[in-house]
Structure 1
Amino acid sequence: MTKVVLLSFDLEEFDIPEEYGQLLEPAVKFAVSLKGLEALLPLLEQLQIRSTFFVTANFAKQHPHVVRSLAQTHEVASHGFYHDSFAVSDLRLSKDVLEGITHTAVTGFRMARLQAVSDRAIAAAGYVYNSSMNPTYLPGRYNNFWQKRTAFYSQQLLQIPVSVTPLIRFPLFWLSFKNLPLLVYKVASQLTLQCDRYLNLYFHPWEFIDITSFKLPGYVKRHSGNVMLLRLERYLTWLLPQAEFITFSEFKLVHAMGQL
């Protein structure tokens, strides 16, 4: 099979300013993510790219018609119930809410902020894949340098770590995309794609509106809004001839057939 790209977006309450001391009203958190989603979707439609959206049940309950419409084109997976808190019971509850809204099977999970969650608990809640790990070391955030770098099975779950480069494990997550020169990010992407035959990339819809007025570090606010959207368009247009874009559930089938 050709090389593939798993492009995903974490559709959640916009609560990252609260990590830096700025409390936001719930209505603001939902509005920022919704506006970002509305800016993003025409680009995906234009490029005919199907993505996987990891959605919090809290966002889905606030905007059920939006999430139901999203599921008609893209895959909807679980991002937990709330973005700012977690209980093990949320695993099943979020799945039930999302399935009730979308009328489709929700088979994948990603924990908020890629925090560790019990594989056994995720599997027991009915999921078949998990993409909650960044296999690198970032002080104060991730300490997974010695974890497996590419897809593997654990507790009958297909674990799909976020992509990092071979050897030095430079992360290809959203912050790298926002802050690296685009040429450097492309080279790192191409190296990883050649080595692994797939990329697992993720962003947030709220990155695609102007967030410069919020209390956030410069490396988070950098390249937000339309600048970020144009940057993503250039990158995806460059990547399209090199790989096929598929959803995470499709990747699980490809992986099971040993085609990667």
Structure 2
Amino acid sequence: MRKYILLNFDVEEFDAPLKYGEKIKPSVQFDISLMGLRNILSLLEHLKIRATFFVTANFALHHPELIEAIARTHEIASHGFYHSKFSPEDLWKSKQVLEEISGQTVSGFRMGEQQIINEQAILASGYQYHSSFNSNYYQGKRRTVHYCDHLLNLPISVTPFVRFPLFGLSFKNLPFPLIQFASQITLDSDRYLNLNFHPWEFTDISKFKLPNSVKRLSGIHLLNRLEKYLIWLKKQAEFSTISDWINRIKHQKYDILG
């Protein structure tokens, strides 16, 4: 049975320093994310990999031509209207803006900062799936993909049993062989990996007041590690956008959506 890699990125304003008391101009926030995003897009084009981009409407409004270009190859999903604040109407407002700019139907949503959000509100806003939490943090949540009142929930991948998270912080702070091992056992168990990164991690963020765990590996060094990881993953499974994968498992005899 086929296995799949659901590679995805949160395209947002680089507001991480604000949490640690460092002021950063909006223009700098956009520039940092933009530089990292361009690095990511070049790598994906080189490796011929399609991905899903969860984009804030605010970022899309500042860079509409780039989002339109990304949409020609990749999936565009919603990351809310702004990254640093949220109101319930942002669900449908961000969807509308992103659809107008990308020319795609936006079917996926991810809440910023893995905040808890009313799933019925997501469904009522016209989304088919959301991928808003890491089940390592929310131990009461199911670890793998599942339906809840007609809305597909797709948690960020964690390993079976111990729920070791497979996301940006783990990827940049742990030995590469350990990341490979954790990825392999999760892929063997679940038949998919939902892998999440932030484009701003792939530019130099060493000068900002951030925890060492966040900034210790960034820019070209992290990009090189990601390239090595993706080349290895291509030997293990098939890459897919999230929407394409959902449509595939719906129409095939998978028990993955139990």
- Structure 1 residue 146: Cα displacement: 2.5
2:170 maps to 176
Structure 2 residue runs of 5 or longer lacking an equivalent are none
Q: Which runs of 5+ in 1 are unaligned?
A: 137-141
Secondary structure of the residue aligned to 1:29 is helix
Q: Secondary structure at the match of 1:242?
A: coil
Instruction: Give the partner amino acid of 2:22.
Output: Q
Which position in structure 2 is the counterpart of 1:53? 53
Corresponding position of 2:216: 222
Q: Offset of 1:115 from its aligned partner?
A: 1.1
Q: Residue type matched to 2:239 in 1? A: F
Separation in structure 2 between the aligned mates of residue 182 and residue 43 of structure 1, nearest angstrom? 19
Confirm or deny: 8 A CA contact 1:123 1:157 kept in the other structure. yes
Give the match for residue 139 of structure 1: none
State the match for 1:201 in structure 2: 195
Taking the aligned partners of 1:124 and 1:11, their CA distance within structure 2 comes to 24
Shift of 1:215: 0.6
Aligned to 1:254: 248
Instruction: Report the equivalent of 1:158.
Output: 152
Alignment of 1:23 with 2:17, yes or no, is no
Query: Could you tell me which amino acid in structure 2 is paired with residue 157 of structure 1?
Result: L
| Matched letter for residue 209 of structure 2 | K
Give the ranges of 4+ consecutive aligned residues of structure 1 lying more than 2 Å apart after TM superposition.
Answer: 257-260
CA displacement at 1:254 relative to structure 2: 2.3
Q: Over aligned residues, Cα RMSD in angstroms?
A: 0.8
**Residue 241 of structure 1: how far off its partner (Å):** 1.1
What CA distance in whole angstroms lies between the structure 2 residues aligned with 1:222 and 1:123?
A: 38
- Give the TM-score taking structure 2 as reference length: 0.97
Aligned length: 254
Query: Identity of aligned pairs, percent?
Result: 54
SS at match of 1:148: coil
Partner residue, 2:84: 84
Q: Distance in 1 between matches of 2:8 and 2:154?
A: 12
* Partner SS for 1:191: helix
| Conservation of the 8 A alpha-carbon contact between 1:133 and 1:162 | yes
1:40 is displaced (CA, Å) by 1.2
TM-score (norm 1): 0.96
Task: Report the 3-state secondary structure (helix = DSSP H, G, I; strand = E; otherwise coil) of the residue aligned with 2:235.
Answer: helix
SS of residue in 2 equivalent to 1:153: strand
* 8 Å CA contact retained: 1:129, 1:252: no
Secondary structure, in 3 states, of the residue corresponding to 2:68?
helix
Structure 2 residue matching 1:116: 3-state secondary structure: coil
The 1-side partners of 2:195 and 2:109 are apart by 15
Partner of 1:133: 133
Spell out the pairing of 1:84-163 with structure 2 (5 A cutoff).
Answer: 84-136=84-136, 142=137, 144-163=138-157
Cα distance in 1 for partners of 2:39, 2:167 equals 20
1:155 Cα deviation from its structure 2 partner:
2.3
